Structure 1
């Protein structure tokens, strides 16, 4: 087990009380009748720093929602990764990025560990003999959460949590949590919630009796919920039906919003207005470039995934030729496939553009790795042929 560089993030302010999920769900009932909001990019940094959470399901699924998607703010976390290929520098860069993700979610990173293996252990992610070392670090640091640098199976999460005695969260859940905090428009919130529910649905059976422990941080903490009651097949199927019902509604809502977006794109094509899409790794400077070129006023913040909602502005070249320029959601290494699918309509702004302006932060320690990660997403959304 190897220790990565020390991380000393600032402390953040306490969170508000949890929202009532029934009330939050009712707020989305009239989405089908609403027109999607225009994303003007007029964000308030003070509001962003307050952070909020996307509405979940009813209280029947409150435990599941709290497990992976409750705010991670003020949680004291230890990071752990499995290094399967590349150099030591690659492994440390990966852990540094995971630390930035955790800090963006509002966590306090206490320590970071990684292990060299051919592949993650199918039972506990890190080798079983190394789990004891991780538990010692958790106990010594007073951490209440472990974040793994990968997408873990429910059984891996459960086994690792049973050994280290604190809540375990994987990289996918962490990124989904950040997206939930930063989504502002109705379309963005619906896309994030759809991704969350698809992630959640795949893990209903695997969580089992693990839920009550994860919801409270340390294993053995008080709390009821599905895990405390011992769910059976009927309960799992009931939860699955509720998730499927909500997924179907979100897809209808997004289809309605997509129609408006498609109409705007078709109008630009009819008017023969060229389109330029700004794309790149998260926090590479895309929004700053859009603001500089078009005075768009998009939120600029030195944080990962600060901008989720696309912004399109009409501008012109020095010789008077009109074109549009769009800012898009940033990409990241191993972007969860649930997010790629949920944000597909937004990412089509890149695939349907006439030119992609790929922004790269030359000061980053691994610009080549970021280039490769972005090009991988380009291929997945059909944008790899756009000049």
Structure 2
């Protein structure tokens, strides 16, 4: 028995209710097995985008495909992923071809394209994140369609998103978007892997992401061409929904996929949570951290009540970080419960772990700050 369809427009993706929409396109949709752009399919999607733009919706595209295209042109083995150097070379070669196709097809719809290549650090560093946000806002207000990809020509395994699902979610936060659609070679989240379990059922609506939802994820990429599996899509949904944007996972293999989805096509919709302040959304959506502070159960409860993290509730410090660096707060069960900006570097933080506030000044030899992590610079996960 098939799952009922969910009309994303009925829930809030229509141009009249979703002023800004981020559309992510996976590699397997854009590039065929021979390494060529699937122009007819892409023209159909761009026609959908053109129709949306004429209705007043502002659009951002997050496009994969540069490595796959470049590998074909350079005749590299394993789709350009045999080594980091091959992937970087393929990305540099393929990106110019990819952006050219997008610009041409968007022009046919009367739209101007802009290219933005970003790295993980561009969206994890607060100042650079704000610069990205400002550029996106200006482009969108000018009626331009930004086409964004990770800058794989300079990214390394240690400093990269690794998939465009999470990139799309972070871009949505930076663009203050109302919705995100992830088009790929799967049509949504299932109760189990549908490739191995014939009884798996599509889940059309996810009001909240909990451990049960996370347990349904499969890390594999169906096509073998892309880098994102269902795990990355659920993490993207967590980032987007916590920033106040709906996120849909939908099958992009159909003709005119955006129009089909709006008409009630198959997919999974993750419902936006109450929008957080911009700074809190940035903190919550971060993917990297310089270190961690572990805390006891009393401190964990205090954080849930909206209080700052005091030294008395900390049990140990992990990693090397400076004041102002992004860190995670880890509860007594080992789970991450918050992300925030450190008020102390790791050396001084280690010295005052477990100490009462009135002892801190004497231990450090200078006037102490009010907390290890202040509530104004912290977001619960």
TM category (shorter chain) comes to under 0.3
TM-score by length of 1: 0.24
* Structure with more strand by fraction: 2
TM-score by length of 2: 0.24
